[in-house]
Amino acid sequence: MKHTTTIRVALSEDEKTATVRLSTQSQPIVCGVLGIEQTQRGERDIYLNTRIHRRSHGQYEGWEPRGAVSTILRELS
């Protein structure tokens, strides 16, 4: 059975740190931000300095994680 994981992201004022909250975990994940890009469709990609996702998490709401070495979060519209 696939489940849905909700991802919420809060960036620091200087956009160097991200606090990521996954609905499947009680503790937030705090990690560094390597960069932020705006896509052509108006979505944001946030490049984190660590890998915070697993391959088989099911569906995502809010943000979609991807990446092999570190996580890239794509804002879902």
pTM for the predicted model, two decimal places: 0.88
pLDDT tens digits for range 40-72: 888 899 999 999 987 766 788 999 999 999 999
pLDDT tens digits for range 12-46: 999 999 999 999 899 999 999 999 999 888 889 99
Q: Tell me the two tokens of residue 24.
A: 């499947």
**CA–centroid distance for 46 within its chain:** 7
| Cα–Cα separations (whole angstroms), residue 16 to 28, 33, 49, 75 | 16, 5, 10, 17
Nearest Cα to Cα of residue 8 among 25, 66, 49: 25
